[in-house]
Amino acid sequence: MGVRLYHDLSAGERRVPRGTHVLGGVAYGDVAASGEGPVLTVDAPVLAGASGATSLLLTDRPGRCGNHGPVRYCATDELVFGVVQLHDGALEAATARAYGAVFEALDALGYPTLLRAWNYMAQINEVADGVERYRQFNAGRQAAFAASGRPRSGRVPAACALGTRAGPLSVAFLAGVTPFVPVENPRQVSAYHYPPEYGDLSPTFSRAGLARVGGVDALFVSGTAAIVGHASLHANDIDAQTRETLANLEAVVDAAGAYPGGVRHRLEHMDFTVYVRHAEDAGRVTALLRAHVGESARAICVQADVCRAELLVEIEAVGGLPRGTET
């Protein structure tokens, strides 16, 4: 079964090309929640000329959709996309429950490999009970990985974690039946090896992951920011942070292409989701992105808080998947 990536920059009802079916995805801003497939609705305003946007994985035949506990999912023979949302009175505990539910669903449905996760939570940089909420999230996520017997370093999924204006802890995920190849960035310390100054328990994600999806070699690049080594760079300088982020994207895509027998992806052929902390930076960031990768770059730009308070921009990318288009 073929899988395509479809970006729709429009408000109102979700639209998909005729003859395709939604495996799952993420919707931002002013987009109605109706339609097939588990689509995570995120309270994050869409910027740069649109009031709503969706990033969807499409298939040419309908999947098997259902619920497993709090997880809504849709599955093909090789892939499953799912979403879970929990109100997070205590974010660490809610995160552990959410990821515990994801792992229980994957075990029950028979999809052992978590490839990619998208995480959104309100007030990610705020301190609650003496601990930043993002650090609480990391502790809960790592606890769930440990409880399920999954590794907490090395072969861990690509991921992002962003702050929204309001709403529950929201997790979307893509998993499969075959192994994937985690990719690290030579310019950065692996997130799961961050020193204790960034929290007692490190983030559990790879910088990117190579996976066989719908018969093609896909590359999922995690949320990427202006971090070199383990340090954030260029405080209060949106242009410099964007350029550093683009350098990190280039480095991780090059690292993915160095694997024997792998497909060499090119940044100019990838699809992007751009997160900016301040709405007024959207135009500048998207201009720098297009200057770097080409004017035809496909990017959704939304306002969201990055996981470190000093970071102003984060960019994630997907490469290798055919693009769904309106017909």
Beta bridge partners of 80: 75, 175
**How far is residue 65's CA from residue 54's CA, in Å, rounded to a whole number?**
19
Span between the terminal Cα atoms of the chain, in Å? 20
Type and span of the H or E element at 3 = strand 3-9
The string of DSSP letters for 188-238 reads B--GGG--GGG-SS----BSEEEEEETTEEEEEEEEE-SEEBTEE-STT-H
**How far is residue 185's CA from residue 168's CA, in Å, rounded to a whole number?**
31
**How far is residue 18's CA from residue 20's CA, in Å, rounded to a whole number?**
6
Catalytic residues: 314
Asked if 138 contacts 203 with a C-beta cutoff of 8 angstroms, the reply is: yes
